[in-house]
Amino acid sequence: MKRLLVRESRLRWPVPEQLPRVIAGQKIETIERRAKYLLFRTAAGSLLVHLGMSGSLRVVDAGQAPGKHDHIDILLQSGACLRYHDPRRFGCFLWLEPGEQHVLLGQLGPEPLSPDFDGDLLYRRSRGRSCPVKSFIMDARTVVGVGNIYANEVLFISGVDPRRAAGRISRTRYRVLADNIKQVLTSAIEQGGTTLRDFVGGDGKPGYFAQQLYVYGRGGEPCKSCGARLREIRQGQRTTVFCVTCQR
């Protein structure tokens, strides 16, 4: 990394003042992902990046003029520029010293597509929990990466009522739920994610998984399985859509 250019430091957390100095001249050895965080590993430490709700990183020519919401440039030795664009400024650029475990990463659950995640883990962690199962599987301390759209879809496919207490669901049903989490997320990744408003992938294209949604965004419409009218409620300030006939 030749240089870090910060035009706007007021992100979700302020960009550290020393970040441009620390990064200058460092070689990116690996790029890793943990939940929604990107980790650019160097010999001096790691750059921790979160794109927020509307952020994106694009590779552009270093001479390309920045737009209104282009807040940070990582200028590379090759002459290319990794440009951070974020209209809402909900993302972050933070620095970790070698071996440092940031508090943002410390309590995260397993990755949903990893061997560490299965129905038995969900069953164990749910014991004694009275919160709704939808809130439980969306909690990053349980498992990372199950956002609101996918939680709605997974619960429908699994036939589980999103209002049910997490601690009252059987091990067998959690195994089905875990398998469907893996299946739904894998399918969404293959189709570039789910674009409802302004989401685009790294190639600038929208995600096409929205075309396969069974329940999310369809409150009041007929269930694709039984024809009953889908019900829409609010849970934890998030929209939940489900079928009272198919989901128990």
Domain membership flag for residue 47: yes
Do residues 88 and 65 both lie within one domain?
Answer: yes
Q: How far apart are CA 37 and CA 105, in angstroms?
A: 8
pLDDT at 127: 98
Final residue before a domain boundary, out of 106, 134, 153:
106
pLDDT at 208: 46
Question: Is 25 domain-assigned?
Answer: yes
pLDDT digits (tens, 9 = 90+) for 222-247: 999 999 999 999 998 999 999 999 99
E strand or H helix at 233: strand 231-235
In DSSP terms, which residues pair with 132 in a beta bridge?
A: 165
Query: What is each CA distance from 113 to 117, 119, 145, 216, in whole angstroms?
Result: 7, 12, 9, 22
Q: Is the pLDDT of residue 192 over 70?
A: no
Q: CATH number for the domain including 168? A: 1.10.8.50
CA atoms of 230 and 224, how far apart (whole Å) = 9
Read off the tokens for 112: 């949903």
- Residues 191 and 1: their CA atoms lie apart, in Å, by 32
Q: Residue 223 corresponds to which tokens in the numbers above?
A: 């269930």
Residues 94 and 190 in one domain: no
Residue 214, in any domain of the structure = yes
**Residues 143-190 pLDDT 10s:** 999 999 999 999 999 999 999 999 999 999 999 999 999 999 998 888
* Helix (H), strand (E) counts: the chain: 6, 10
How sure is the predictor about 194, in pLDDT bands with cuts at 50, 70 and 90?
low
